[in-house]
Amino acid sequence: MYSYSPGSDELVFHMEGLFFANGVTLGPGDEYVLVSETGHGRIHRLWLKGPNKGRSELFASGFPGVTDNISFNGRDTVWVALPALRDVRVAQAPALRRILAGLPRRWWLPERQTAFVVGLNLQGEVIHNLQFSQQQEGVPFSDITSVKELDGRLYLGSLVEGRVGVINIQ
């Protein structure tokens, strides 16, 4: 993972070995940045300030889905979008992933769509678990790739929906 500073035209290396680093968000006081590693369904923390500056560590892992974009609500919660459940067999087979990516989505997407968002506290522990599956009552919104909290609501983005999802969380 690299960062780029347009002002100085400087490119700085920070972390290696990430399997599809995707979503990023700053933590409280910009002390650290959290990085979603989609391929392994986990989140890393890279310290930007303080005695741990430059050090990286695992912040959260063990998600049942692939992690996508993440956001910090500015107070106490990191929201994580999980657009699909993880299939470790596919995650560990780059050749199979390339083949699937070239096929029409309807051929390889699971029949059961999911809507999945988790909220983490500042220690990386799950404190909110919001999920629906088509087998329950029909997924009101699926393939969630982004989540942002604002004024007591979660705003959801998706790969396949032609609208923005909204959930009241007060």
| DSSP string for 147-167 | EEEETTEEEEEESS-SS-EEE
Q: Write down the pLDDT at residue 162.
A: 84
Residues of the chain with pLDDT under 50: 136
Q: Which amino acid is at 48?
A: L
- Total domains present in the chain: 1
Structure tokens at 108: 């390889």
Q: How far apart are CA 126 and CA 160, in angstroms?
A: 26
Q: How far apart are CA 153 and CA 170, in angstroms?
A: 7
Q: pLDDT tens for residues 102-116?
A: 666 555 555 556 678
With a CB cutoff of 8 Å and minimum separation 6, the contacts of 43 are: 34, 35, 36, 37, 58, 59, 60, 61, 67, 70, 78, 80, 120, 124
Q: Write down the pLDDT at residue 16.
A: 83
| Alpha-helical regions (H) of 13-104 | 88-91, 94-101
Range of the domain at 38: 2-168
Q: What CATH code is carried by the domain that includes residue 86? A: 2.120.10.30
Q: How far apart are CA 68 and CA 36, in angstroms?
A: 6
What is the value of pTM for the model shown?
0.80
